[in-house]
Chain A
Amino acid sequence: MTQDSPILKVSNLVKHFPITSGGIFQRTTGAVKAVDGISLEVFPGETLGLVGESGCGKSTAGRTILRLLEPTSGSIEFEGQNLIKVSKRELVFMRREMQMIFQDPYSSLNPRATVGDIISAPFQVQGVKPVGGLRSAVGDLMERVGLNPEHFNRYPNEFSGGQRQRIGIARAIALQPKLIVCDEPVSALDVSIQAQILNLLADIQNDFGIAYVFVAHDLSVVRHISDRVAVMYLGQIMESAPSELLYTEPLHPYTHALLSAIPIPDPDLERNRERIILSGDLPSPSNPPAGCVFNTRCWKAEDKCRSERPVLREISMGHQVACHFPEQNLLETISIAPTGTDFIA
């Protein structure tokens, strides 16, 4: 990391979806608080993992960051420019620098366009004329992501899920953006294919120095690819830390529970560890609990947690947590790192 200024700085980002009722004269009767005041920074060439369970607002956050959804309030600074203030026309121009990879490789590619059309679309939309011509640029991109350039004229339905995800990646890197938001890019794929795509994303990042915001629910995948990780719950960031620190010394009870819930593919380790089983389900984001949003499922909740919302504060270098009673000395209790075994996969 050569520069110290973040490429993306999000402050107090809020995205509420109004709930309306009444036929013609619609009244707003409430709001789904999908993203409720998150702040984060992404530095050039690094990967920020955004994890959480379904309904925590991680995908909405990813989309709002690119202004694919209009934020309710807050600010998004991309290379020092506030995205919220720029006009639609300027925004189109700025999208050159920020791209997205979607979860579903089936619905995110136009079934009636050839692969060549799909990958050359960014050049045409942005009016960019690549050196050496469009055709050869697209061929290079296809080769870069591991597709056969001869398949230029094929349609998406002729490709497997993993190959389609490669098409989506080629499209995203076509204009050499500085930031890509990856929304669950591997969760629709089989494990053996998942690993291929994760490696490809890592290689591309090394080659082009692209920063990723990697939105996913799978904590193992996120650990693998991220430099820093932010854990979301009901529209808020509960904890954010460098990847290693978050996984070995989680401070928030929710992070702790989330990590302990993941089954480890090692029978001896898996069957001999203590597991925290959270009771209940995620509360509704249209009516989040007062105080700390996690208090209804937290085993440490006290009166203060039910009345006062904890702010995200820095506990140690780069390690932030939003909890009144952050955990300590978790290393012994959760023991997710294999001790004494030499199981390597």
Chain B
Amino acid sequence: MSETDEVLLSVRNLYVEFSTDDGLVSAVNDLSYDLKRGKTLAIVGESGSGKSVSSMALMGLVAGMNAKVSGEVYFDGQQLVGADPESVRKLRGDRMAMIFQDPLSSLHPFFRIGDQLVEAVQVHHDIDKKQAQVRVKAMLERVGIPDVDQRMNEYPHQLSGGMRQRVMIGMSLINNPELLIADEPTTALDVTVQAQILELLKDLQKEFGTAIILITHDLGVVADMADEVVVMYGGSAVEHAPVREIFYEPAMPYTWGLIASIPQISAKHAHLDPIPGNPPSLINLPSGCVFAPRCTFKHLVSDGLCENERPQLLPVSPEHTSRCHLTQNQRTDIRRERLIGRQK
């Protein structure tokens, strides 16, 4: 790839709202990021943080769900929000593709594996079935399916979870997309199979120069795969930084809590430091900082600012932004005191 530094996807002030019987659900609030070709951006968050919805919205997959999408999404210069659905449909599966968490429910149970992939090729390319089959076969071999000729004639239920996820990856990459959105691609898999799939994704990314948006809640997977990380909470990006800075110099209390609450395979018996309380309801978001109700540091900020005023996403270093009212010095002190991140 000669154009590695070129921005492929640019998301600006994205909002996604759903109107439901209980009220307006603000699933994504003012999300912005850039993704360069061939790079991996991880979006991390718990359930209900808006991480999946934000990516589905930019693929035009929330239409018909009473959703209101606003903001700007530029894919290779083309604005996708409000664009003609037909033109977005043409991009989908061709120049941008998606892998879902559950490969069993994302493959059609009635059709043979081979036919499903052939269809994916033929929808976007004017080639005959024979040629498409050759291409499908090569791709399935590439993603590590054994006995491809036989497997192409089988149905999804005849394959194991790992195999199905390989088929999904093969299907999403068959048209050599420039952008791949992987929504919890390994969450349903066992660790040894997860290791295989992550390795495969990395190899394919190198080979095809695909940019990846990796949606996950597993910080281990993030540490392995990501170049950049966006941490989402209650529909907003609360921190955005290169991967090493997220782990070694995390800048705000939610990220601290997230890191402190994972039991580590490399750590000894210690009491975990969980985040108190529960994630917020997206119907009545707090008017101040979305994390304030669970934040254990808000007493350090005067005038109840945390409860009343939504903090801006502000830079803490050149490539690192976070949403928090704590001062730089306060954060440095807390990190040192609580042994958060890497100590200098």
Binding site for B on A (CB under 8 A): 53-54, 160, 162-163, 190-196, 198-199, 202, 217, 219-221, 223-225, 243-244, 247, 257-271, 275, 277-279, 281-282, 336-338, 341-345
* Interface size of B in residues (CB-CB distance below 8 Å): 53
The answer on a CB contact under 8 Å between B195 and A53 is: no
Q: Which of B74-82, B261-269, B302-310 contacts A (4 or more CB under 8 A)?
A: B261-269
Can you list 20 residue pairs at the A/B interface with Cβ under 8 Å? A191-B46, A191-B261, A192-B46, A194-B261, A194-B274, A195-B272, A199-B272, A202-B271, A220-B262, A223-B263, A224-B272, A247-B265, A262-B220, A265-B223, A270-B220, A277-B195, A281-B163, A344-B340, A345-B260, A345-B267
Whole-angstrom distance from the CB of A310 to the nearest CB of chain B? 20
A266 to B340, CA, bound (A): 12
Q: Which of A162, A263, A269 has the most CB of B within 10 A?
A: A263
- The 9 tightest CB contacts between A and B, nearest first, are A263-B220, A195-B274, A224-B263, A195-B261, A53-B190, A265-B219, A261-B195, A195-B272, A192-B275
> Which residues of the other chain, A, contact B267 by a CB distance below 8 angstroms?
224, 344-345
- Find the A residue at minimum CB distance from B242: A267
| Bound Cα distance from A337 to B265, whole angstroms | 8
Q: Is the CB of A190 within 8 A of B47?
A: yes
Among A191, A270, A337, point to the contact of B217 (Cβ < 8 A). A191
Cα-based distance from A8 to B114 in the complex (angstroms): 51
In the complex, chain B residues 315-344 whose Cβ is within 8 Å of any chain A Cβ = 339-343
Contacts of B265 in A (CB 8 A): 219-220, 223, 247, 259, 262, 264, 336
CA distance A312 to B248 in the complex (A): 42
- 1/0 per residue B247-273: CB within 8 Å of A? 110000000011111111111110111
Does B152 sit within 8 A of A, measured CB to CB? no
Say whether chain A's binding surface is mostly helix, strand, loop, or mixed: helix
The answer to whether residues A220 and B264 also contact, given A263-B224, A265-B247 and a CB cut-off of 8 A, is yes
Q: Knowing A162-B278, A267-B243, A344-B339 are in contact, say whether A195-B222 is a contact too (CB < 8 A).
A: no
Instruction: Return B186 CB to nearest CB of chain A, in Å.
Output: 9
Distance in angstroms from B167 CB to nearest chain A CB is 13
Known: A263-B221, A264-B220, A278-B192. Contact between A342 and B261, CB under 8 A?
A: no
Contact A258 B192 (CB under 8 A): yes
* Bound: A172/B327 CA distance, A: 45
B6 within 8 A of A: no
Is the Cβ of A217 less than 8 Å from the Cβ of B218? no
